[in-house]
Amino acid sequence: MNKLYEEYIKTESLPTLFCPGCGNGIVQVAAINAIDELGIKDDIACVSGIGCSAWIPCYLKLDVIHAMHGRAIPFAEGLKLARPEKKILIFSGDGDCLAIGGNHLIHGAARNIDLTVVNVNNNIYGMTGGQKSPTTPYGAVTKTSPFGAADEPMKGAETAMALGATYVARWTTAHPVQLAKAIKEGIEHKGFSFIEVLSQCPVQAGKNVMGTKEPAEMIRRYREMTCVCKDGEEPPEGKVKIGLFRRDETKVEYTERIRASYEEAGIAAGKGGQDG
C-alpha cells in the first residue's frame, strides 16, 4: 500500500463497504492528499451524516463523528464552537445535505461558520438501493420514480452560492487533482466552504441515470459533460459548469464574529473546551 494511505487509512477496517467502481475512493484520496499537504492531521476532525459517502471518513485515522442522517452540519457546528481553533471536514451526500439536511445547510452557510462541506453528488440514494434524490435529473427512472422523476433537480453548488457560502466549487471524480486542491483551499478558507463533487454510482445510478454502468465510461462522461468556467462565465448549452465559483475572504467568519462581539462587551473570548 502507498505510504500516504498507510498513514491515513485504518487498514484493520478494510475492505471498505463501497461497491467496485464507486467514486467515494477518489474523493477519499483527494481528501487525504489535501489534509496531508496542509499537514494538519492533528488539528482536523471529520463529521458525516448517513449514506454511502458518509462512510468516507470512517476509514481515516482521524477523530470522526458518523452522525445522524442530514445532521452532519449541526454536529460539526457544536464541535467547531467548542474548539474554534480546529478545522472540521464534512462529507455529505446529495440526499443527506440537500434533502433531509437542507435546513442546516441554509443556516450553516448563512452563518459563514468555518466548516468545509464536501458534497458527494451521485444523483441517487445509493445505500438504500437506488431511489430518487434531490439531484436526480428530471425524467430519470429510479426505484421511486418508475415513470420518470417529476422534480426539477437541485443544484448543490448554485444553492450554496445563493445561501452565501464564501468558498464554492464544483468538480467531478474525473478531476481528482483539482478536487484535492479545492478541498485543501476549502479547509484553509476561514468561512463556510462548499465543494460539490459529481461522483459515479455505477450500481444504482449507472444504468438509469447516466446511461452506462461502466465506471470508466461514467468518469469519461463526467469529463465530456462538464466545462471549467471561471468567475462569471457560463458553460455552453447542455454542459455542466465546474470549477471554482467563489472565494470570498472578506466576510468575517462566525466564531470570529462571536469573539469580537464578546470582546466589545468586555467579555474575555470564551471557548467551550475544558482546557479553555
Partner 1 sequence: MAEEERKIRRGRRRPGDQRIGRMEDGSMVLQGNEACAKGAIQAGCRFFAGYPITPSTEIIELLAEEMPRAGGAFIQMEDEIGSACSIIGARWGGARAMTATSGPGFSLMQEAIGFAASTETPVVFIDVQRGGPSTGQPTLSSQQDVYQARYGSHGDYEIIALSPSSVQEMYDFTIRAFELSEKYRTPVILLSDEEVGHMREKVELRDDVVTIDDSPKDYVKSPQTDFFKGAMSTVEGQLHDEKGRRIGHIPLKSGAFVENICKKISDHADDICQVKAYCMDDADIAIIAYGSVARPAMNAVKLARGIKDDRIFPKFRLFRDLFTKGLTTARNTDYSHLKVGLIKIDTVWPCPDKLIARHAKDVKTVIVPEMNMGKYVKEIQRILPDKQVISLPKVGGDIHSPTDILDKILEEVGMDE
Residues near partner 1 (CB under 8 A) are 10, 12-13, 42-43, 45, 47, 50, 58, 61-68, 71, 73-83, 86, 103-104, 106-107, 258, 262, 264-265, 267-268, 270-276
Task: Measure Cα distances from 241 to 218, 231, 237 in Å.
Answer: 17, 11, 10
- 101 vs 202, which CB is nearer to partner 1? 101
CB of 130 to partner 1, least distance (A): 20
Count CB-CB contacts under 10 A for residue 221.
18
Stated as kind and residue range, the H or E segment containing 228 is strand 226-228
Nearest approach in angstroms of CB 265 to partner 1 is 6
Contact 91, 65 (CB under 8 A): no
Burial 92-129 (b: 16+ CB within 10 A, else e): bbbbbbbbbbbebbbebbebbbbbbbbbbbbbbbbbee
Q: How far is the CB of 8 from partner 1 (least distance, A)?
A: 11
Instruction: Collapse the DSSP code of 265 into the 3-class scheme (helix H, G, I; strand E, B; otherwise coil) and give the result.
Output: coil
- Kindly tell me which of 164 and 235 has the beta carbon lying closer to partner 1: 164
Q: How far is the CB of 104 from partner 1 (least distance, A)?
A: 6
Minimum distance from residue 199 beta carbon to partner 1 (Å): 22
Specify the residue, 71 or 181, whose C-beta has the smaller distance to partner 1: 71
- Residue pointed to by grid coordinates 461558520: 113
- Residue 57 DSSP class: G
86 versus 239: smaller Cβ distance to partner 1: 86
Residue closer to partner 1 by CB (options 75, 167) is 75
Residue 62 or 182 having the CB closest to partner 1: 62
**Minimum distance, C-beta of residue 62 to partner 1, in the bound complex (Å):** 6
User: Rounded to an integer, what distance in angstroms lies between the CA atom of residue 151 and that of residue 123?
Assistant: 13
The C-alpha atoms of residue 98 and residue 164 are separated, in whole angstroms, by 15
